[in-house]
Amino acid sequence: MSNSVGVVMVAAGRGTRMGTAESKQYLLLKGKPIIVHTLEVFQQHKLISEIVLVTGDQDMERCREWIDTYKLDKVTGVVCGGAERQHSVYNGLLQLNSTWVMVHDGVRPFVQPSEIEACYERARQVGASVLAVPVKDTIKQVDSDGKVLSTPDRRSLWAIQTPQTFRASELRLAYEAAERDGFLGTDDASLAERAGIAVSVVEGSYRNIKITTPEDLDFAEFIQRNRGEG
């Protein structure tokens, strides 16, 4: 289908900021692994036809078990991540058959169905889209000694989230160009921008947090309680 939408969900990181022996994406939120909460949002969305989960080699088996347990039948593959997030996403892209791809962090379980739809519609209009929120704080650019160099206009600054949405064939080419040139980007959109793809922001929610620290987990539990979910 020309408008089929797939998801590459990245859960290969072994972040140390959580301060736990367990990787953050497998910690429990309301009795379920965070990654399962995130997968369920896309599993239940009418736009999404397939999901490829990218995880660490040591976690592939339990992820397959959860996919079976929680009946996540849109997950068509569980693949092993690479040394960097960029390599992990590319591994996932190679397994995807959809025309459009959304790349999403496995530790962002609070993305809303309406935001997923808005990202897809914007990508269809302009080429690519990223979910983002306006920066609330004043940002300072500083040098290596901590000296302030400039204060960018806050109105032009957005904090970037996921999903990030692209035509899959174009994103694959952008990834291959980055690999050839030895370029390591901080997100998928930076590779797309480098390849000349127009990327537009879609305003999201400050609740679409990336759970990376113990404080984030506390806030996630607060959000979950207030949504009345169990």
The reported pLDDT for the residue numbered 22 is 54
Say if residues 178 and 153 touch (Cβ distance below 8 Å). no
Each residue's pLDDT tens digit, 146-193: 999 999 998 899 999 999 999 999 999 999 999 999 999 989 999 999
Residue carrying the six token digits 């309680």: 225
- Cβ contact 5:100 at 8 Å: yes
CA 217 – CA 123 distance, rounded (Å): 31
Degrees (nearest 5) of the Cα angle 24, 91, 210? 25
Distance CA 129, CA 188 (A): 10
Q: Read off the pLDDT of residues 80-102 as tens digits, 9 standing for 90 and up.
A: 999 899 999 999 999 999 999 99
Q: What is the pLDDT of residue 143?
A: 96
Vertex 86: Cα angle to 84 and 92 (nearest 5): 110
Mean pLDDT, the chain, rounded, equals 91
Least confident of 27-41, 185-199, 212-226: 212-226
Amino acid at site 160: I
Instruction: Say if residue 17's pLDDT is above 60.
Output: no
More confident residue, 208 or 3: 208
Q: Residue ranges of the domains in the chain?
A: 5-226
Report pLDDT for 64.
96
CATH topology of domain 5-226: Spore Coat Polysaccharide Biosynthesis Protein SpsA; Chain A (3.90.550)
Tally of residues, the chain:
230
CA distance 185 to 213: 23
Residues 85, 12: contact at Cβ < 8 Å? yes
Q: What pLDDT score does 15 carry? A: 53
d(CA 75, CA 209): 23
Candidates 106, 92, 115, 76; CA nearest to 168 is 92
Mean pLDDT, residues 101-106 taken together:
97
- Give pLDDT, residue 219: 80
104 burial level (CB within 10 Å; 0-12, 13-18, 19+): buried
pTM for this model (two decimals): 0.91
**Angle in degrees, 0-180, between the axes of helices 60-69 and 34-43, rounded to the nearest 10:** 50
